[in-house]
Structure 1
Amino acid sequence: MEIKNPNWFAPVFIIIWSTGFIIAKYGMPYSEPMTFLALRFTGVLLILVPFILWFKAPWPTWKQARHLAVAGALIQFFYLGGVWMSVRQGMPAGLSALIVGLQPILTAVFASFLAEKVSRTQWVGLMLGLLGVFLVVYAKIDTAGVSVMNLLFNAVALIAITGGTMYQKKFCPQFDLRTGSTIQFATSALLATIGAFLFETRQIDWTVSMIGALVWGIVCISIGAMTLLFLLIQKGNATKVSSLMYLTPPTTALMAWVLFDEKLSILIIIGTFITMLGVLIVNQNISLQNLKRILFRV
């Protein structure tokens, strides 16, 4: 299934992806992490499987399916599971966002694995992006609730999303999104279900907020945002794609301001603009000379 990569993929992906932190606010009080993720991944399968059967979508080879399963487990289960487990056990959301926000830097460090070269200008952009993220989440950084276990969960999430993105780009960059995604979500659903039965009570409080968070997570994030992410990975440079993740904290802050009337400080506004500049530098082929001109004009 060949799909072109229009310019709207990246901004729409960021907007939808950023709502993940919003649905966590709505859904986490009513369900344990593994239980929620098991329901979410299973819900995705209930939509994708009939769709595949109806359109008779082609399945990948067994070799490619194994690679897809590994990438899916990393990007879906270990990343989301790590973040949700850490926050559930008291990890401050701001600190969690900052740790996971190191992904673009980590991806750039290991770019040679994909035979990709990161220019000096792109490194400048990556550092600016990280600085912007730090400014955005600074007010929410709190060491209360931090533990070795929480840090470990966040480290797992960081390594998983970085490794999963690079693994997929390296070993299975092209695949039918319908069947490939099904393999990835089936793998993640199995792992989340095992985790729920081994470590959780599996009790769910079926409130309107819980149901809304689950439906949004299934349809908009797991199907919508993930499809866009896979398309971006297929078409783009891993460092450039990962740099988009820098925009998640600023976008989430803006959403929280609109939805929850959370304070939008001058630090958040400045950090947002710095982050946007950093991502722009990474994704555009800007020379150091032109970068100096841009910054001088600003």
Structure 2
Amino acid sequence: MPRSFLAFAPLLFVLLWSTGFIGTKGAALNADPFAYLTLRFAIAAALMAVLTLATRSAWPTRVQGWRAAVTGLLLHAGYLGGVTYAIWLHLPAGISSVMVGLQPLLTALLSWPLVGERVTARQWAGLMLGFLGVLLIVLGRGSAGGAYPAGALLATVFALGCTTAGTLYQRRYGAGMPLLSGTATQYTASALVMGGMMLMHGGAYLNWTPQFIFSLTWLVLVLSVGAILLLMVLIREMPAARVGSLFYLVPPFVVVEAYLLYGERLTLLAVLGLGLSVAGVALSAWRGKSEQDVRQAG
């Protein structure tokens, strides 16, 4: 992977990933959440399979296939299922992004015992600074008036646990997985599970409004294909804690996008939080010359 692309890839990923919360709101308000996700994952799986055949890429072995399925159930079915269900229950997209934005702390906390990646004191400082920025963004958004649904909050916590576990699992077991066919396997497993959830939920309605069609198209092509492939590359090329730290940038971007698209006002406290999140990610992801020399020597 070219170093010039890897230098730009993290910011591109954050930009793409942040639009997922805005797009999910447009989709979830026009469809049963599990019906929408079943359709999204099925289309994405088909596209990845076509790309695999067109590029004559390798297909995963049986072991790789099972591991890809586990990754998919965590990163796609679990994470997106929880977030989409929470937004369907009318939890604001910005709040859901802030809650799952706690993922970097959990990833850093678990990355050493699970995948053997040491987190330095400077990286911990950056992660905590980013966490403080996220808290300020929450406070800066002000009260939404009334308590949020308990089910929506629990669904977001579930999504947080799934995306953390999925990142660590992919980092430990997914290094040799073929990128295109492995991602197709992930989506296939996720579509099957979401289809079962749709039947259990008792709803299969899809309102084909212009908003839903645009949201679905954007989420499939830009998020489920572009952003997910980019995430798999970042997880393979970067330590888990550094990949996790990028998610601190997502809530600030969601807040800005909500302001531009829906006119939500940014308070001074939220602007300060955005600045702290950016600084925290930069501090956590930056490596000094000595660290780079150690990495190259290894």
- TM-score, length of structure 2 as denominator length: 0.90
CA contact 2:34–2:194 (8 Å) conserved in 1: yes
Please give the alpha-carbon distance, in whole angstroms, between the structure 2 residues aligned to 1:157 and 1:151.
Answer: 10
Query: Cα offset for 1:95?
Result: 3.8
Report the Cα offset of residue 98 of structure 1: 2.9
Question: How many angstroms does 1:280 deviate by?
Answer: 0.5
Distance 2:273 2:256 in 1: 12
Determine if the alignment matches structure 1 residue 85 to structure 2 residue 85: yes
Counterpart of 1:7 in 2: which secondary structure?
helix
* Structure 1 runs, 4 residues or longer, greater than 6 Å off: none
User: What residue is the counterpart of 2:8 in the other structure?
Assistant: 8
**What is the Cα deviation at residue 29 of structure 1?**
1.4
Residue 241 of structure 1 and its aligned partner are, at CA, apart by 0.2
2:124 corresponds to which letter in structure 1?
W
Q: Is the 8 A contact 2:97 2:254 kept in 1?
A: no
Offset, 1:100 = 1.1
Superposition CA RMSD, Å:
1.8
Partner of 1:105: 105
Query: In structure 1, what is the Cα distance between the partners aligned to 2:182 and 2:145?
Result: 40
Give the whole-Å Cα distance in 2 for the aligned partners of 1:98 and 1:12. Answer: 19
SS of structure 1 residue aligned to 2:222:
helix
Partner residue of 1:126?
A: 127
Q: Are 1:68 and 2:68 matched, yes or no?
A: yes
- Contact 2:126/2:282, CA 8 A, preserved across alignment: yes
Deviations 1:127-149 (A, max 9, x none): 11011111123225558343443
The secondary structure found in structure 2 opposite 1:163 is helix
C-alpha separation in 2, matches of 1:216 and 1:77: 18
| Partner residue, 1:203 | 205
* TM-score (norm. length: structure 1): 0.90
How far apart are the structure 2 equivalents of 1:168 and 1:237? Answer: 11
Q: 1:231 aligns with which of 233, 245, 264?
A: 233
Identity across the alignment (%): 34
- Aligned in 2, Cα 1:26/1:34: closer, same or farther, shift over 3 Å? same
Q: Distance in 1 between matches of 2:193 and 2:250?
A: 26
Partner of 2:248: 246
Matches within 5 A, 1:1-298: 6-112=6-112, 113-138=114-139, 139-140=141-142, 142=144, 144-285=146-287
Q: Is the 8 A contact 1:92 1:141 kept in 2?
A: no
CA separation of 1:140 and 1:20: change in aligned 2, threshold 3 A: farther
Q: Per the alignment, do residues 47 and 286 of structure 1 end up closer, same or farther by CA in structure 2, a change over 3 Å counting?
A: same
Query: How far apart are the structure 2 equivalents of 1:265 and 1:79?
Result: 29
Gaps of 5+ in 1: 288-298
The number of residue pairs the alignment matches comes to 286
